[in-house]
Every structure is written in structure tokens, then in C-alpha cells.
Amino acid sequence: MAIYINKSTRVLVQGITGRQGSFHTAQMLAYGTRLVGGTSPGKSGQVVEGLPVYDTVFEAMEAEPAEASILFIPAPFARDAAYEAIDAGIKLLVVITEGIPLHDALDIMDYAHREGTVVVGPNTFGLVSSGQCKIGIMPNRFYVPGPVGVVSRSGTLSYEIVGNLSDAGLGTTTVVGMGGDRVVGLGFIDVLKEFEKDPATEVVVLVGEIGGSAEEEASRFIAAHMSKPVVAYIAGKSAPPGKRMGHAGAIIEGGRGTFASKIEALHEAKVRVAELPFEVPSLVREALGNS
């Protein structure tokens, strides 16, 4: 099983002729993702990695209908590209782009919500249902099928942790990157709800970081609604208040979003918390043994 995407999901690549778009198109194809085409204004008729290129999402959808789209679109044009995908009927939108203006991101989320489209990101590594479908930029080799669901605010940390799980013989069901910006689509609670319903997911790994209150809110949801064990790792223990650490959302302001407050909330929810990333696999094994 998987959440959000599976081997049947048909995927469109917006910005397919750019350097990042074309590179990651090849990687997604190599993973087995069912890509059906791509878009790049003025490039209709070209072919990238064997896939047809169209000027617009509407043209692409007429030729090869898709359920999902991934955006490799520069930040100033990302809102228009997202609107185009939503208007054309895309129901899962993965926004890799970072640096999207705050009001543009708010507009995207509002419009997507009204039209029933799920947004992953922006500033995300994407999502992958292991062995079935990858819509994102994560390295292929770490994502092998298994019983662990992962939801993360950090791309590089998730790669390290999933790699550690894989080395320990623990594969994953679905791995979701929420994105590191202040405004994102899917949040921890959205993904936790889906993992709770997924029969193949036996334990969930939550990878958080300082800043905001998402981890505290997730902790309350876990305590009240999760029957499955959760293991967590929180980055940013040494970060000084007021200093941005990597992501726009990873900043402590006014005493909110501290490392200590997140750890306290997770402990209150009976979540096993790793001190270091390499400790996650042993805590997952412990959770699986007790579940």
C-alpha cells in the first residue's frame, strides 16, 4: 500500500526542458514513475527523455491525462504555473521551487484548497511511494519498500534517515517532504492521518526542526488519534534564537518553536525521540517489536 501516489499515478513535469527538470525527469523515469509528458512554453513538439513536450498543461492533459504534476518553475512564475495545473484538473501538485513570495504561496494554497488539489511544498524534495512512484528530487537508491512511513520538513535529513533505515533493512511505504517554507500545503497532521489509515505502514518517523509550532500540533494529534508508534528526530538543537537555519520556517521567534518545546511535546505524546539521526533505525525496530 501507499499514500497519495502509487504505481498507477500518471505524472506531468512542468518545466521539463530546464536543467533541473530534464535531469530529474530521467531520475524519476529510472525509478519507475509513470511520467506521461511535460510542459515548457514555446517548446511544444520537443522530446525530453522520450516524453512529449507541450506548451501548456491543458494541451498535455488533452493528449495524456495526468493526476499529478511536479513544478520545476522559477519562483516568479510558480504561482501562474500552479494555477494552470489546478485549472487543468491536476489533483496532486508537487512544488519543488524555493523562494516563492509569501503572498504567492498563500494564493496557491487558497486556490488549491477551493479546487480540491493537494499541494506538497513549496521548497520540498517531493514524495515517493517506495518501489512504486517517485515525484521529486530524492536519490533513488534509498527508497525501498518496507513498513515505515516518513514525513519530514527537511530534505537532506530525510535522505540520511531513510538511508540509515535502508542500511538497517528497514524500507519505507511512503516518504513525504512537507517543505521548509513558512507556508506549505500538506502538514504533519495531514500526513499522519493518512499513515494511520494505511494498513502497510506499521510505524511512522517524523523529522522536524526548530521554528513554528507544527511539531507541537502534531504531538497533540499523535496523543489523541494515532494508534501506530511514532519515532521522531528534531534538528536545530544548537541554533541560536532569531537566526534562520536553512529554511524560512526554521527560525525561533518570540520564544516559540524552540527545540526544548518540541521535544517536551513529543515526549508527552509518548513519541520515541532520537538524539541523533543514526539512532532512528534502532528506535524504529523497538517500536515495531512493541506494536
**29 CA to centre of own chain:** 18
Which helix H or strand E contains 26, and what residues bound it?
helix 19-31
Residue identified by cell 508527552 is 268
**Quick one: 92 exposed, middle or buried, by C-beta within 10 A (0-12, 13-18, 19+)?**
buried
Q: How far apart are CA 28 and CA 128, in angstroms?
A: 10
Distances (CA, A) of 91 to 24, 68, 286: 21, 6, 37
Left if phi > 0, otherwise alpha if psi is -120 to 50, otherwise beta: which for 266?
Answer: alpha
Question: Is 157 in contact with 138 (CB distance < 8 Å)?
Answer: no
**Rounded distance between C-alpha atoms, residue 115 and residue 177, angstroms:** 22
Spacing of C-alpha 194 from chain mean position: 13
CA 4, 190, 215, 199 dihedral sign is: negative
In angstroms, the CA 273 to CA 260 distance is: 12
Q: Is 181 helix (H, G, I), strand (E, B) or coil?
A: coil
Q: Quote the CA–CA distance of 122 and 124 in Å, as a whole number.
A: 5
- Choosing from 24, 103, 225, 247, the catalytic residue is 247
Is 103 catalytic? The answer is: no
Distances (CA, A) of 33 to 26, 38, 155: 10, 13, 20
The dihedral through the CA atoms of 8, 150, 144, 30 has a sign that is: positive
Q: Give me the active site residues, please.
A: 247
